[in-house]
Amino acid sequence: MGKIEKGILGGFSGKVGTVVGGNWRGIDYMRSKGKRSKAEPTASQLEQQAKFALAVRFTQSMSALLAIGFSQYSVKQTGVNGAVSYILKNAIGGTYPNNSILYADVLISRGDLPNVLAPTATAAVAGKLMYNWTDNTGTGIAKPADKVMLAAYCPDLNQCVYTTGSSRRSDLTDELNLVTFSGRVVQTYISIISDDGRDIASSIYTGEVTVL
């Protein structure tokens, strides 16, 4: 049974006949009740479902990071949904049913803040990933106190280790503790966010690395 929240002219929640009402992120909506389809899915539908499952599986490993990273480009949707949408459009390759994530084309954040220059990720120490970069303070709105965001995703485990500001643009180096990924391949990324959290950069892929 539906419940009217704000009088006859307001939104409602629940089901009234064939209409479903609700509120999402402060927006009242109504939609018709879906009908169950008895038709078998087409090849195109199966392919899209497989791609969607790939994108969702990947983003679930770093959902809190993506909520921050895609906050500026997620109008009327969550940051994770924004990331899923980006991956579906730009970072899935192969031919169904052998589709895969194109890790070099993935973004873990998206924005207009200048990212650091010449970032690298190397496994120079057992269980750790070392990041280095060049400080480009003064480029656009780049500031020395901007916070660096690091991420290392392990496809074998579908797990991601990340930071959201353990170092600054001016520090030139930082590290991730990846002892749980020892001996495994990781896909690595770097981004940067302003100290007040209002501006964020589009991330840079820093390569595939085998953790020592």
Q: Where are the domains of the chain?
A: 3-32, 43-210
The confidence score (pLDDT) of residue 2 equals 53
pLDDT, the chain, mean: 89
The confidence score (pLDDT) of residue 8 equals 47
- Range of lowest pLDDT (13-22, 52-61, 203-212): 13-22
Task: Write the pLDDT tens digit of every residue in 2-22.
Answer: 554 555 455 556 666 666 676
The confidence score (pLDDT) of residue 73 equals 79
Average pLDDT over residues 51-64: 97
What is d(CA 69, CA 84) in angstroms, rounded to the nearest whole number? 12
Instruction: Quickly state the pLDDT bin for 36 (edges 50, 70, 90).
Output: low
Higher pLDDT, 73 or 96: 96
> What DSSP element (H or E) covers 129?
strand 128-134
What is d(CA 47, CA 30) in angstroms, rounded to the nearest whole number? 29
What is d(CA 92, CA 99) in angstroms, rounded to the nearest whole number? 7
Higher pLDDT, 154 or 43: 154
Judge whether residue 34 has pLDDT over 90: no
DSSP-derived 3-state class of residue 130: strand
Higher pLDDT, 185 or 28: 185
The confidence score (pLDDT) of residue 101 equals 98
Burial class of residue 155, CB neighbours in 10 A (0-12, 13-18, 19+): middle
What is d(CA 82, CA 158) in angstroms, rounded to the nearest whole number? 20
Q: What stretches of 14-135 show up as alpha helix (H) in DSSP? A: 43-60, 63-69, 79-90
Average pLDDT over residues 117-146: 97
Q: For residue 168, which phi and psi values (nearest 5 degrees)? A: -115, 165
Judge whether residue 156 has pLDDT over 50: yes
Average pLDDT over residues 126-149: 98
Distance of CA 58 to the CA centre of its chain: 9
Note the CATH architecture for domain 43-210. Sandwich (2.60)
